[in-house]
Amino acid sequence: MKITGIKTFVCNAKMRNWIFVRVETDQPGLYGWGEATLEWHTRSVVGAVEDMADLLIGEDPLRIEHLWQMMFRQHFWHGSGIVRSTAISGIDLALWDIAGKHYNTPCHRLWGGSVRDNIRLYCHLGGGDMKQFYETPVSNAARFGELAQAAVEDGYSAFKSMAVPPTKVLEGGKAVAAAVQAVEAMREAVGPDIDIMVDCHARQSPTMGGQFARALDPYGLYFFEEPCWPENIAGLAEIRSSVNTPIATGERLTHIGQFNALFAAGGCDVVQPDITHIGGLSVARKIAALAEVHRIALAPHNPQGPISTAASLEFGFSQPDYVICETVSKDVPWRDEIATHSHVIDPKTRTALPGEKPGLGIELNLDEIAKHPFQQEAPQRVFYDDGSVGDW
Ligand SMILES: [Mg+2]
């Protein structure tokens, strides 16, 4: 079997342009789907896929690790920058989809078979609607409580909130007090048995991240995410050692060496590799092996499109320390019209059951995708009250 073509299909889903990658073969009807979505860098990733296609056309798509090594190591520049690692991921996912279809089995069976019966899903407040999740001011604690209640009414036993505002490198207590009130309102709204997560989006300095982490420690968060820049592993380890709350990070890392350093330094309890950014499922499995040594929980970052979700779930069915999967369902109202998936979601418990279709078990509706062509993503710029630049 030989690879005959690699194509990208861009679908504008409001906050993101989903980039779908199709790897085609010389076997009639046999192709694989991957996803390489990278918000605000859509054209760069599409170009990177195009640049890499030249390496792969004519090669055997079943030699996945060999092709991954080619994509990462040839020519000269290693593929761990975010644009190229995302492009590699899209192709890698499609190669695993081809392998599953070729051997007529879901991907997780290629990796040793299912290690669990179902996977718990968590949602964003507002179901992933950009305005509700990112733009509800932390000072509006009552609204956080309402959205938390709605998530639970929707069947979720766990949800994530952005209950920590952007802060300067050093600030007084006002922002921390607001975060405490927002988390308190959510806890009051849903009771003690629901798992609440707070994502800091790496907006904080280690000092401020630590202040938020310690102030929120009494509320029993399931995990506290990206409390400082991901590059600052010592800062993450310091924050982690000062609280009981599990610390999560990893969605912006793109090389296995970064994960290795993070784990070795005790920088997290929960790792959130993004299967569409780390180099795909081939790398996800290596990171999982590293995490297992440290008994670090896996909870992949997955706010993108339907193929990212299918890949994150196939991965989860094969990984013992996988605890929960991030999902988005209300980013665009037509999400379910562009793809069919093999896994089954129980709407009462918001858990995913494995499907029987081969590969990633997903098929896309190209006519529907064509109705949502590329648009420039809406800017998300953050400036502090003195006009200086903050992190989104
Ligand atoms: Mg995050």
- Taking the centre of ligand 1 as the mean of its atom positions, its distance from the CA of residue 303, in whole angstroms, is 9
How confident is the model over 335-355, as pLDDT tens digits?
999 999 999 999 999 999 999
User: Confidence band (pLDDT; 50, 70, 90) for 125?
Assistant: very high
What pLDDT, on a 0 to 100 scale, did the predictor assign at position 107? 98
Mean pLDDT calculated for residue range 4-9:
98
- Taking the centre of ligand 1 as the mean of its atom positions, its distance from the CA of residue 199, in whole angstroms, is 6
Cα–Cα distance measured from residue 240 to residue 258, given in angstroms and rounded to the nearest whole number: 18
SS3 180: helix
What pLDDT, on a 0 to 100 scale, did the predictor assign at position 134? 83
CA distances from 287 to 84, 256, 263, 284 (A): 18, 6, 10, 5
- Taking the centre of ligand 1 as the mean of its atom positions, its distance from the CA of residue 370, in whole angstroms, is 29
What pLDDT, on a 0 to 100 scale, did the predictor assign at position 127? 85
Q: Domains in the chain, ordered, with CATH? A: 3-105 (3.30.390.10), 110-358 (3.20.20.120)
Name the residue among 154, 178, 152 with its Cα closest to residue 167: 178
What pLDDT, on a 0 to 100 scale, did the predictor assign at position 322? 98
- Taking the centre of ligand 1 as the mean of its atom positions, its distance from the CA of residue 101, in whole angstroms, is 32
The yes-or-no answer on residue 201 being catalytic is yes
- Taking the centre of ligand 1 as the mean of its atom positions, its distance from the CA of residue 225, in whole angstroms, is 6
Contacts of 336 (CB under 8 A, 6+ apart): none
- Taking the centre of ligand 1 as the mean of its atom positions, its distance from the CA of residue 322, in whole angstroms, is 17
What pLDDT, on a 0 to 100 scale, did the predictor assign at position 167? 95
Cα–Cα distance measured from residue 314 to residue 97, given in angstroms and rounded to the nearest whole number: 11
User: Confidence band (pLDDT; 50, 70, 90) for 133?
Assistant: confident
- Taking the centre of ligand 1 as the mean of its atom positions, its distance from the CA of residue 16, in whole angstroms, is 15
CB 343 within 8 Å of CB 310: yes
- Taking the centre of ligand 1 as the mean of its atom positions, its distance from the CA of residue 390, in whole angstroms, is 16
What pLDDT, on a 0 to 100 scale, did the predictor assign at position 58? 98
What is the DSSP code string of 237-288?
HHHHHT-SSPEEE-TT--SHHHHHHHHHTT--SEE---TTTSSSHHHHHHHH
- Taking the centre of ligand 1 as the mean of its atom positions, its distance from the CA of residue 28, in whole angstroms, is 40
280 conformational bin, left if phi > 0, alpha if psi -120 to 50, beta if neither = left
How confident is the model over 18-56, as pLDDT tens digits?
999 999 999 999 999 999 999 999 999 999 999 999 999
Q: Which two tokens stand for residue 176?
A: 């921390």
Cα–Cα distance measured from residue 330 to residue 301, given in angstroms and rounded to the nearest whole number: 17
DSSP H stretches of helix in the chain: 42-56, 64-73, 82-103, 107-110, 130-135, 141-153, 174-190, 206-216, 233-241, 256-264, 281-294, 306-316, 335-338, 366-370
Mean pLDDT calculated for residue range 305-331:
97
What pLDDT, on a 0 to 100 scale, did the predictor assign at position 10? 98
User: Confidence band (pLDDT; 50, 70, 90) for 217?
Assistant: very high
Cα–Cα distance measured from residue 174 to residue 154, given in angstroms and rounded to the nearest whole number: 32
Mean pLDDT calculated for residue range 204-212:
98
Query: How many C-beta neighbours within 10 Å does residue 157 have?
Result: 18
- Taking the centre of ligand 1 as the mean of its atom positions, its distance from the CA of residue 226, in whole angstroms, is 7
Mean pLDDT calculated for residue range 319-339:
95
Q: Which entry of 255, 301, 341, 343 is annotated as an active-site residue? A: 301
The yes-or-no answer on residue 372 being catalytic is no
CB 317 within 8 Å of CB 108: yes
How confident is the model over 279-296, as pLDDT tens digits?
999 999 999 999 999 999
What pLDDT, on a 0 to 100 scale, did the predictor assign at position 248? 98
- Taking the centre of ligand 1 as the mean of its atom positions, its distance from the CA of residue 272, in whole angstroms, is 8
Beta bridge partners of 270: 248, 297
What pLDDT, on a 0 to 100 scale, did the predictor assign at position 135? 87
CB 48 within 8 Å of CB 84: yes
Mean pLDDT calculated for residue range 97-125:
98
Q: Which entry of 201, 277, 341, 343 is annotated as an active-site residue? A: 201
Residue 128 has pLDDT above 90, yes or no: no
Tokens 């046999």, located at residue = 30
Could you give the percent of the chain with pLDDT greater than 90?
Answer: 94
How confident is the model over 237-258, as pLDDT tens digits?
999 999 999 999 999 999 999 9
Cα–Cα distance measured from residue 290 to residue 294, given in angstroms and rounded to the nearest whole number: 7
What pLDDT, on a 0 to 100 scale, did the predictor assign at position 130? 80
Beta bridge partners of 353: 344
